[in-house]
Amino acid sequence: MAVPKATVVLKHVKSVMVRFCPFQTHVEATRIFLEHVNSRKARASNINCVVKTDVRHDGSEPVIDIMFVDGDRLVMKGANLTAAEMLSAFNSRCTAKNLQAEEKTKKKTA
């Protein structure tokens, strides 16, 4: 499986928790997502973002739990998603948060 090219920006993210059992099937996409979020470039976009990995040996399905700075939360169950789908959902939510922040700053200055 080819690794999708995606830019991950953690500007509006407070924490990312990635939980998976490495011996389960369908865990590769979750590991690819973790690789993107934990990359040097992504981590540099928000040094205060906490990225935690919880590796279990209990047969549980892979779960990605993302907490945003404004208290919003995104939970993705990675068993039936591809890495591209997870990255797309994450990036679209981050883009929406970025637009909201820009609108707030425009209202304050106007």
Dump pLDDT digits (tens) for 1-12: 455 566 888 999
Cβ contacts of 83 within 8 Å, gap of 6 or more: 1, 3, 4, 28, 29, 30, 32, 33, 36
Please tell me which residue, 53 or 79, carries the higher pLDDT value: 53
Q: What is the mean pLDDT of residues 83-90?
A: 94
Q: What is the mean pLDDT of residues 57-68?
A: 93
Q: What's the pTM?
A: 0.86
Dump pLDDT digits (tens) for 19-55: 999 998 889 999 999 999 999 999 999 999 999 999 9
Q: What is the mean pLDDT of residues 81-95?
A: 93
Domains of the chain: 13-109 (3.40.30.10)
Distance between CA atoms of 98 and 70, rounded to whole angstroms?
12
The CA dihedral of 60, 25, 82, 41, to the nearest 10 degrees, is: 80
Tokens 């979750």 identify what position?
A: 30
